Amino acid sequence: MFEKLSTAPPDPILGLTEAFKRDANPRKINLSVGVYQDASGKTPVLASVKAAEQRLLESEATKNYLSIEGLATYGAAVRELLFDREHEVVRSGRAATAQTPGGTGALRVAGELVRAIRPTAKVWLSDPTWPNHGGIFTAAGLEVATYPYYDAATQGLAIESLLSALEKAAAGDVVLLHACCHNPTGVDPTPEQWQRIAQTIERRGLLPLVDFAYQGFGDGLSEDAAGLRALCRPGGELLVCSSFSKNFGLYNERVGALTIVAESAAAAETALGHAKLRIRTNYSNPPAHGGAVVASVLADPTLRAQWEAEVATMRGRINAMRRLFVETLAAKGVKRDFSFLERQRGMFSFSGLTPQQVAALREQHALYIVGSGRINVAGMTEANMGPLCEAIAAVL
Ligand code: LMR
């Protein structure tokens, strides 16, 4: 069966970390995968997470299966973080949540749910987007299309082309939007642009699917949810795939959620039942630990305050690195204006480096960034800033 197989291509993001690990160069720098590092280059376990884990270790009484949709307390905490406790979507009960293995698990379940209910729906992805998006929805059996997103000339959002593309989507198609900290560009719609996108989606009868993986890394936990909340319409349907990999640093615990917003509480419950059918044949029910940690932290006022402060620290360090990156590039003699990097939000900088320059960075300087020119700012430190900016200056 496997004898004549040709080699599978490496993953465009995780494959780079595999190559990085094999690289013997002692000066190597990995700015590919979106993982936060502190000033000393470590990816720490948050103190709020450690405290919750200690409590769980003492109080956990069973390793019995969770239900197919996961912990109810986790689902409620997710919805309140996404929409706010007082939001109509939460108070009406017309949102239902399934705990999933990471945001990727949520996206796959969402894809399979759409495929089961509306098999002819196309999923519209931003150009560019996270490289895994296309693979996930294709694997779920859906057709994928793209809408323009990034305007290289202005280093901003191509809002008019984006809206014209949505005008061409068929009613019932799915539009995937990044709630904040767009991956890979770091360019997000303004509040006015969110309104225009929301109005077009509503008028065209499209289904918004919001990928929310970086809540708190842009401008703040609540501020980063403004786009999602702008998409909420009375009785309007919506899917949200969220993740706690980044803002809780729970990468390897695989903690995510699919939240289904339906016209009514009864419709949400029914839709969740169909999502549960997809889950059962995929991974049966979710892993418990990460969800229990998140639910414990969010339910405890002291731990929650500690976590919010830790998110603010991560956000502040990323923004400080953005500024230092732009300053250091200039100090190393780079003439091109990179000040637009300071306007981008979240973990990533979309540098504008070409695939040839990205390859040269890796081959000649052992600096690993994603082929699109995406650089993980959250992996920059004061210690690696000099060498990395020198390498970029050299390939430019
Ligand atoms: C990224 O874009 O680097 C992260 O979302 C990690 C991943 O799974 O690709």
C-alpha 34 – ligand 1 centre gap (Å): 5
Confidence of residue 300 (pLDDT cuts 50, 70, 90): very high
Q: Which domains does the chain have, with CATH numbers?
A: 7-45+315-395 (3.90.1150.10), 49-302 (3.40.640.10)
Query: Which atom, in ligand 1's list, is nearest to the CA of 213?
Result: 5
Question: pLDDT class for 290, splitting at 50, 70, 90?
Answer: very high
User: Ligand 1 pocket: which of 14, 16, 104, 130 to mutate (most atoms <8 Å of CB)?
Assistant: 130
| Pocket of ligand 1 from Cβ distances under 6 Å | 13, 33-34, 130, 132, 183
* pLDDT band at residue 155 using 50, 70 and 90 as cut-offs: very high
pLDDT at 238: 97
Q: 11 an active-site residue? A: no
Predicted confidence (pLDDT) per residue in 158-172, tens digit: 999 999 999 999 999
Q: What is the pLDDT of residues 38-63, one digit of tens each?
A: 999 999 999 999 999 999 999 999 99
**Reported confidence tier of residue 269, pLDDT bands at 50, 70, 90:** very high
Q: Which atom of ligand 1 is nearest to the CA of 130?
A: 2
Write down the mean pLDDT value for the chain: 97
Tens digits of residue pLDDT in 105-141 = 999 999 999 999 999 999 999 999 999 999 999 999 9
Edge-to-edge strands of the sheet including 122-127? 95-100, 256-261, 238-243, 207-212, 174-178, 122-127, 143-148
**What's the CA-to-centroid distance between 181 and ligand 1, angstroms?**
13
Residue 257's beta-bridge partner residues? 99, 242
At 276 the pLDDT is: 98
Interval between CA 295 and ligand 1 midpoint (Å): 23
- CA dist., res. 93 & res. 71, Å (int): 17
> What is the percentage of the chain residues whose pLDDT exceeds 90?
99
Q: What is the pLDDT of residue 304?
A: 98
pTM for the complete prediction? 0.96
Per cent of the chain over pLDDT 70 is 100
Mean pLDDT of 13-18: 94
Residues 323-351 as b or e (16 or more Cβ within 10 Å = b): ebbbebbbebebeeebebbeebbbbbbbb
Which pLDDT score is estimated for 363? Answer: 96
102 within 8 A of 96, measured Cβ to Cβ: no
